[in-house]
A and B are shown apart, each in its own frame.
Chain A
Amino acid sequence: MSTNDTPMTPAVVPENYLNCSSGFRSWFFTLDHKRIGVMYLASILAMFLIGGIMALMIRTELLTQGQTIMSSDDYNKVFTLHGAVMIFLFIIPGIPAALGNFVLPLMLGAKDVALPRLNLASYHLYVVGALVCVLSIVLGGVDTGWTFYAPYSTTTNTHVSILTLGAFILGFSSVFTGLNFIVTIHRMRPAGMGWFDMPLMLWALYATAIIQVLATPVLGITLLLLIVERVMGIGIFDPALGGDPVLYQHFFWFYSHPAVYIMILPAMGIISEIISVFSRKHIFGYRAIAYSSIAIAAFSFLVWGHHMFTSGQSELMNMIFSALTFSVSIPSAVKMFNWITTMYKGSIRLDTPMIYALCFMFLFGIGGLTGLFLGSLATDVHLHDTYFVVAHFHYVMFGGTVIAFLAGLHYWWPKMFGRMYDEKLGRISAIIITVGFNITFIAQFIMGSRGMPRRYYDYVDEFSLLHFISSMGSYVMAIGFFMVAGYLVKSLVSGPRAHANPWGSAALEWQTQSPPVHFNFDDDPEVCNPYDYSRVQYDAASGGYVRVPSEVKPA
């Protein structure tokens, strides 16, 4: 609220990256990371809307037993596309490519990412990939589940090849983004910013990028083999031809497990930023958080088999993978403890981004802890492929990543568009989404652990009530989202002008105006500890935070 009603609306909007040029070409072929980020943002939100609508279709179909609004074939297509769209088109590019693209060079005080053309190419690939995926939907959809398990995927007569081709292209897009980030962080750090002087968001993006670069190619080859298998009948994964379907699962999860950390790591980065800024306190255990990001990235490659405990994987591997799975949960636990401790004796301001960050800890906590049930062999045998898993991954992906994405979106919104949104609506909708989410997915935990299998079009009587509750919850959530969409659009049109540093962060991206100029900084920013708030002081006159010169308050 403090920032809403400040009477600082300059008459003229200073030149910035948004208004320095206009026209379709100036956007679609721009090399400016900020514009690319904004285009990514618009694209992924569109995809989120599509995926979300499909989610509502799923929930509506499951509202009652038997057929409610669609046939079983349609249902199978809808959840497949819901999963594929949400994962490949929304959440994987979500934080890194949209928000990350925007803030990464700014946080480094750089003019752009190291390889701007590659960045643009990555966006174009994203668009092409998205179009190919949409094509597969238009042609009639795909019904394999987002995991494309062989031999079902090699024998069904839906448009698997097209969707996988789309995902293949998106894979390249993701690789290029990751590659770019690694190079940028290595080569573009300003003088005076060592590795351990970077904001934790950069560590998170760096760890994410490692996974993107090392894991995504394997997805590429998997999907390629699947296409070859379908088109030419090569037989590597098809038992009817002597192939091995379990090998397919190894291939798939070698990418797709690390991919879940592509989703969560940047989210954790955002949370690290927000908790510190809104508590106005130095982040607790900086190094532990930084190292844990890298540890998660490294370990994430060693646990893929926990998706295959009942698949026919050998007992030996099951044991190894189960043990390794738990090793990833430790760095996550470390982060949780550090965040909470950061709040201790802080000066906590509960603005929308912080509300989201707190919701994140609540939801990700549940999601992550339920991962322990799944990582443990005996319980996973019971829980595998039930709604318990569905609830687990929605808690981590939605409760974790999407909520953190929303936190980041609200946090950097003023920087991106130079305008504030309605703070009160922001908080209310954050609460609505969280409540709706819990209703939807707690019910799924219960039915899952009671045996309700996932990817089921229909269910037995026992689960009627729980499914009904779950569907109702999803409508509540949808209301929350439409509120968010509403006030954000309104803010774009008529929101009050944003201060250069409305939250009081000490990181470099807040040292330029909101929105930034075309080349990011008019003067080189002053490199400093991103979590030292002593030199960022509230300036009542302008309604935001300003840096005080170091003479007055030595760091």
Chain B
Amino acid sequence: MSDSQSSSHVDSAAHAANPNLQHHFDSMEQQYESGKLGMWLFLVTEILLFGGLFCAYAVYRHNHPEIFTYAHQFLDKSLGGFNTIVLIVSSLTMAMAVRAAQLGQRRLLTTCLALTLACAFLFLGVKFVEYEHKWKHGLLWGKNYEVQGEMAGATEALMIPAAPSQSGSAADVDPNATILPRAARAPEGLAAEVGDHGDGVADAADDHATHGLEPKNVHLFFGIYFVMTGLHGIHVLAGIGVITWLLIRSLRGDFGPDYFAPVDFTGLYWHVVDLIWIFLFPLLYLID
């Protein structure tokens, strides 16, 4: 890795040369490698942070598959897919930005950072549209889950059991035992709402005969959905903050072959944000 021009004897020279070198390091390389290791460790903590949520997801999905097969149809695959692509593009531009910083290509660096930032905003914009839609229809967590609008189609009479479940708990549902469960003919309403993106959703719904009784505790899916995407969204926001800061510094011309660590490290962070979305997307949107 090291181009080995820095032996320990030229250290003092390096000290004088690079104002970015902190006093307690011997060389820029040592400083860079330390920062990088630190960053990787931090990323691992991020992964574990999300790991907890993935755990909650896995446990509930495994035990109550019917909730997931039913509820995911309220999510818009197309918007999710679009956002996936947005993040992949932003990852590419970020990786390019790192490269540009390393090679001292200032203009390219600025452009790439700006593009990344644009993608981040686009992502949040789409997310906002999705959230708003859920909000409007009461597709929320916990007690706030209250299907509204076209989605609350009254189909109590239909007693077709919910999507097949392995766990057996759904099969035990005794319609007389509880206050009447909410039912909804979800997909049509949604399809109408989102317009052109809707067909896939409607198809999927037909395939799986979920017109029947709504499974119990569907709100759990939305709880998990909002926590996962919410926490991810917060990370995107944080990324926007940091990238903006990078952009300003890059305009000032701070980065070059001698000093690109901040770009590199932010890049790593941004890729993890992308990486998490890569898992969130199929797990939340593409069930079946």
Task: Please tell me whether chains A and B touch each other in their complex, using a CB distance cut-off of 8 A.
Answer: yes
User: Would you give 7 A-B contacts (Cβ < 8 Å), ordered by A?
Assistant: A114-B25, A115-B35, A116-B24, A182-B41, A225-B53, A235-B142, A242-B219
Bound: A115/B39 CA distance, A: 11
B-side contacts of A53, CB under 8 Å: none
Tell me whether B142 and A241 are in contact (CB under 8 A): yes
- A residues near B35, Cβ cutoff 8 Å: 115
Complex partner residue of A218 from B30, B34, B51, B220, CB under 8 angstroms = B51
Tell me the complex Cα distance, A216–B41, Å: 12
Instruction: For A110, list chain B residues within 8 Å (CB).
Output: 24
Whether the Cβ atoms of A242 and B217 lie closer than 8 Å is yes
Residues of B contacting A373 in the complex (Cβ-Cβ under 8 angstroms) = none
Given the interface pairs A183-B41, A225-B56, the reply to whether A241 lies near B227 with Cβ below 8 Å is: no
Interface residues on B, range: 35 or more
Contact B38 A114 (CB under 8 A): yes
Residues of chain A lying within 8 A (CB to CB) of residue B142: 232-235, 241
Q: A232-B141, A232-B142, A242-B220 are in contact. Are A179 and B38 (CB under 8 A)?
A: yes
Q: Check: A180 CB closer than 8 A to any chain B CB.
A: yes
Q: Which residues of B contact A115 (CB under 8 A)?
A: 34-35, 38
Complex-state Cα separation, A243 to B217, whole angstroms: 9
A247:B38 contact, CB within 8 angstroms: no
A-B pairs, top 4 by smallest CB distance, nearest first, are A221-B52, A242-B217, A233-B142, A111-B24
B-binding residues in A (CB < 8 A): 110-112, 114-116, 118, 175, 179-180, 182-184, 186-188, 191, 213-218, 220-222, 224-225, 228, 232-236, 241-244, 247, 250-251, 519
Residue from A184, A191, A241, A247 in contact with B56 in the complex, judged by beta carbons closer than 8 Å: A247
Question: Which of B220-241 touch A at CB < 8 Å?
Answer: 220, 223-224, 226-227, 231
Please, which residues of chain A bring their CB within 8 A of the CB of B49?
217-218, 220-221
Taking CB atoms, residues of chain A closer than 8 Å to B51 are 217-218, 221
Does more than half of chain B's interface fall in helix, strand or loop, or is it mixed?
helix
- Does B10 count as interface, using CB distance less than 8 angstroms? no
Which chain B residues in 246-268 approach chain A with CB under 8 Å? none
Q: How many cross-chain pairs have Cβ atoms below 8 Å apart between A and B?
A: 115
B37 touches A183 (CB 8 A): yes
Interface of chain B residues 3 through 39 with chain A (CB within 8 A): 8, 22-25, 30, 33-35, 37-38
**Which B residues have a C-beta under 8 Å from some C-beta of A?**
8, 22-25, 30, 33-35, 37-38, 41-42, 44-53, 55-56, 59-60, 141-144, 216-217, 219-220, 223-224, 226-227, 231
> In the complex, what residue of chain A is closest to B37 when comparing beta carbons?
A183
The answer, among B23, B44, B223, for a CB contact under 8 Å with A111, is B23
Q: Quick check: B38 and A214 within 8 Å, CB to CB?
A: no
Q: How far is the CA of A236 from the CA of B30 in the complex (A)?
A: 45
Of chain B, the residue at the smallest CB distance from A179 is: B41
B45 and A116 form a contact (CB under 8 A): no
Q: Output the least CB separation between A258 and chain B (Å).
A: 11
Q: Is the CB of A112 within 8 A of B37?
A: no
Please judge, given known A-B contacts A217-B45, A228-B227, A235-B142, whether A244 and B52 are in contact too, CB under 8 Å: no
Q: Determine the chain B residues whose CB is within 8 A of the CB of A218 once the complex forms.
A: 48-49, 51-52
- Using CB atoms, name the residue of chain B closest to A117: B22
CB distance from A110 to the nearest CB of B (A): 7
Q: How far is the CA of A182 from the CA of B144 in the complex (A)?
A: 44
When distances are taken between beta carbons in the complex, the residues of chain B under 8 Å from A215 are: 48
Residues of A within 8 A of B144 (CB): 232-233
Separation of A224 and B45 alpha carbons in the complex (Å): 15
Q: A178's closest neighbor in chain B, by CB? A: B41
Q: Are A235 and B223 in contact (CB under 8 A)?
A: yes
B224 CB contact (under 8 Å) in A187, A221, A236: A236
Taking the closest CB of chain B, its distance from the CB of A538, in whole angstroms, is: 33
A233 and B55 within 8 A (CB): no
Contact assessment for A519 and B23 in the assembled complex, using a CB-CB cutoff below 8 Å = yes
| Closest-CB distance, B178 to chain A (whole angstroms) | 12
- Cross-chain contact B227 with A214 (CB below 8 angstroms): no
CB distance from B179 to the nearest CB of A (A): 14
